[in-house]
Amino acid sequence: MFDLLIIGAGPGGIALAHHLNQAGKKVAIVENDKWGGTCPNYGCDPTKMMMAVVEAKKHAEWLQGQGIVGEPSVKWEEMRARKLNLTDPYEKEMLKGLEKAGVTTIYGTASFNRNGDVVINEKTYQAKQYVIATGSRPKNLAIKGSEFLKTSNDFLALPHLPSHMTFLGMGPVSLELAQLAHAAGTEVTIISRHEAKIGHFDQEIGDVFIASLKSEGIEFIENVSINQVVQKDEGYQITDSKGFELETGLVVLGIGRGANLKDLALENVEVAVNAHGIEVDEFLRTTHPKIYALGDVLSKTEGHLTPVSSFESAYLARLLTGKEEKAITYPVIPSLIFGPTKLAQVGRVSGEDIKVKMLDLTSWYTYKRINAPFAKIKIAVNDRNELVGASTVSPLADEVINLLTVMIQQKISQAQAERMILGYPTVASDLEYYY
Ligand SMILES: Cc1cc2nc3c(=O)[nH]c(=O)nc-3n(C[C@H](O)[C@H](O)[C@H](O)COP(=O)(O)OP(=O)(O)OC[C@H]3O[C@@H](n4cnc5c(N)ncnc54)[C@H](O)[C@@H]3O)c2cc1C
Ligand SMILES: NC(=O)c1ccc[n+]([C@@H]2O[C@H](COP(=O)([O-])OP(=O)(O)OC[C@H]3O[C@@H](n4cnc5c(N)ncnc54)[C@H](O)[C@@H]3O)[C@@H](O)[C@H]2O)c1
């Protein structure tokens, strides 16, 4: 009998396995695909490894005629080979790490039986407690020809790109993958079923991000709901019910992800789920007394992101080893969309009780240095002049948003920011001038 059996070896499940193993618990972890889960195999890591190439190209282009001679170009096949060499070994390293630490690893699909035990490859396993960390999978569209639609996993596995590609949806998956394809020479169209608006991001700042992609030549089509995909000689024809038609080499889905529940047989253990995933209370407990859940598989508003899964696994490790008694409370969580120009947001940037200002940063030294064409920030402070939120778009938005996240979390006011000395010239040395 194990102390704990974890289903799903993504960032959430693996971190929890290590935490509890180090605490002396007898831990088993089950995986039915790649050890490490979505982030290192199909998500964050491979996409950002490729994005580094696209960023390098753009940074060189921005300095063309100012010292840079010649225009670099991106080759999909080489960029993909780099990803294969650098991120594909993660899977084996993750498995080795678990085995070396003494965690029992089981390869197979886990499901619960009516006794509340877990069955894997027809063998039954028992544990004192179970954690479901099965993550999510891409949603498909229920339309005619949906079998021709590709997922983000399929996109990353393409040996070559067609001359034109279409991305459905306007979330981070479409907006990031579209940039990879476009930089490698493919014409790209992004189709939104509504007006172009990026999820929860501030509309004004989001519009600047969209403008940056449009300036590259990425096409945006709004208010179109595709209802049919038909195979053609050299690709596909997609249509809607109002007469829209587009011929394209490939159609990639970026319309969100749904919780991975299908193999778990949760009906046998009466774990409550809704349309967005598993329901848990503020201690990450499901409706079954021995079963907890964490990560992307949860129905939650905090964001389905790697650091959120990791945060939940650290909390659960403390809870299950008696080091934590309180309910989980999340800190402010930044969200990002990557590219040579990045979009990032944290906290609140609208509301009656806060002061909000917009700064155009393109003339600031930090951005002039790299000749960035798009750089803006919206900053919100409360009546004590403490930062409560920010939304920003620039090539350095990833670094800026993390610094601002720390400042919001620590409730740092302008007076306190002025008393710090930070390296110059960097994004950090701009911080005190944002207030
Ligand atoms: C293209 C893309 C880019 C992304 N980029 C970023 C980014 O830049 N930053 C960021 O923070 N997040 C990003 N994400 C999101 C991030 O990958 C996820 O939030 C993160 O992987 C969630 O971790 P998890 O452990 O909850 O689940 P997962 O990583 O999904 O792991 C769950 C694991 O459980 C396994 N599993 C499922 N069912 C069973 C079963 N019945 N039995 C056994 N095993 C099972 C699955 O095979 C999987 O390996 C991206 C996602 C995608 C798709
Ligand atoms: N940089 C990052 O942090 C990053 C990068 C990639 C993915 N992710 C994570 O991966 C997950 C999936 O991302 P995503 O972009 O696929 O999903 P998303 O939910 O963020 O965005 C989905 C988009 O598709 C649209 N949409 C939904 N249903 C549709 C339909 N039936 N027809 C047409 N359009 C539809 C939505 O309006 C939205 O614009 C998210 O949790 C995201 O946080 C994060």
Q: What is the pLDDT of residue 155?
A: 98
Q: 272 C-alpha vs ligand 1 centroid, how far in Å?
A: 21
pLDDT at 338 over 90: yes
Amino acid at 57: K
State whether the beta carbon of 41 lies less than 6 angstroms from ligand 1: no
Structural domain contains residue 167 = yes
Annotated binding residues for NAD(+), written as ranges, equal 169-176, 256
Same domain? 133 vs 60:
yes
User: What ipTM did this prediction achieve?
Assistant: 0.98
The answer to whether position 365 is within a domain reads yes
Closest by CA to 168, choosing from 160, 177, 181, is: 177
* Residue at 281 is within a domain: yes
Mark whether 46 and 104 lie in a shared domain.
yes
Domain end among 224, 255, 286 = 255
Mutate to test the pocket of ligand 1, among 7, 35, 38, 125 (most ligand atoms within 8 A of CB): 38
Regarding whether 303 and 167 lie in a shared domain, the answer is: no
How many Å lie between the centroid of ligand 2 and the Cα of residue 153? 14
Asked whether residue 274 falls in the same domain as residue 420, the answer is no
Are the C-beta atoms of 59 and 369 separated by less than 8 Å? Answer: no
Q: What is the DSSP code string of 64-88?
A: BTTTB-S-----HHHHHHHHHHHHT
Ligand 2 centroid from CA 170, angstroms = 7
pLDDT average, residue stretch 376-382: 96
**Do 227 and 291 belong to one domain?**
no
Contact between 433 and 385 (Cβ < 8 Å): no
Q: Which ligand is nearest to the CA of 42?
A: 1
Is 232 in the same domain as 288? no
If asked whether residues 308 and 214 sit together in one domain, one would say: no
Q: Are residues 27 and 130 in the same domain?
A: yes
* Vertex 112: Cα angle to 106 and 116 (nearest 5): 115
Ligand nearest to the CA of 295: 1
Give the annotated binding-site residues for FAD: 48, 134-136, 296
CA atoms within 13 A on the CB side of 121: 6
Q: Is residue 125 part of a domain?
A: yes
Note whether 48 and 109 are same-domain residues.
yes
CATH classification of the domain holding 112: 3.50.50.60
Which CATH number does the domain housing residue 385 bear? 3.30.390.30
pLDDT in tens, 3-39: 999 999 999 999 999 999 999 999 999 999 999 999 9
Tell whether 330 is covered by a domain.
no
Identify whether 113 is part of a domain: yes
Tell how far the Cα of 149 is from the centroid of ligand 1, in angstroms: 20
What pLDDT does 417 receive? Answer: 86
> Do 285 and 316 touch, CB atoms closer than 8 A?
no
Examine the fold and report which residue of 228, 255, 282 is the final residue of a domain before the chain moves on: 255
Ligand with an atom nearest the CA of residue 39: 1
Residue 64 pLDDT level (bands cut at 50, 70, 90): very high
- Whether 186 is in the pocket of ligand 1, judged by its Cβ within 6 Å, is no
Ligand 1 centroid to residue 375 C-alpha, Å? 31
Tell me the pLDDT of the chain averaged across its residues.
Answer: 96
Backbone angles phi, psi at 131, to 5 degrees: -130, 125
> Is ligand 2 within 6 A of the CB of residue 141?
yes
- Judge whether 326 lies within some domain: no
Based on the domain organization, do 10 and 131 belong to the same domain? yes
Q: Identify whether residues 307 and 202 lie together within a single domain.
A: no
Q: Is residue 78 part of a domain?
A: yes
Confirm or reject: Cβ of 192 under 6 Å from ligand 1. Answer: no
400 contacts 414 by C-beta, under 8 angstroms = no
Q: Which domain holds residue 354?
A: 341-433
Give the total number of structural domains in the chain.
3
Indicate the pTM of the whole model. 0.97
| Claim to verify: residue 250 and residue 105 sit in the same structural domain | no
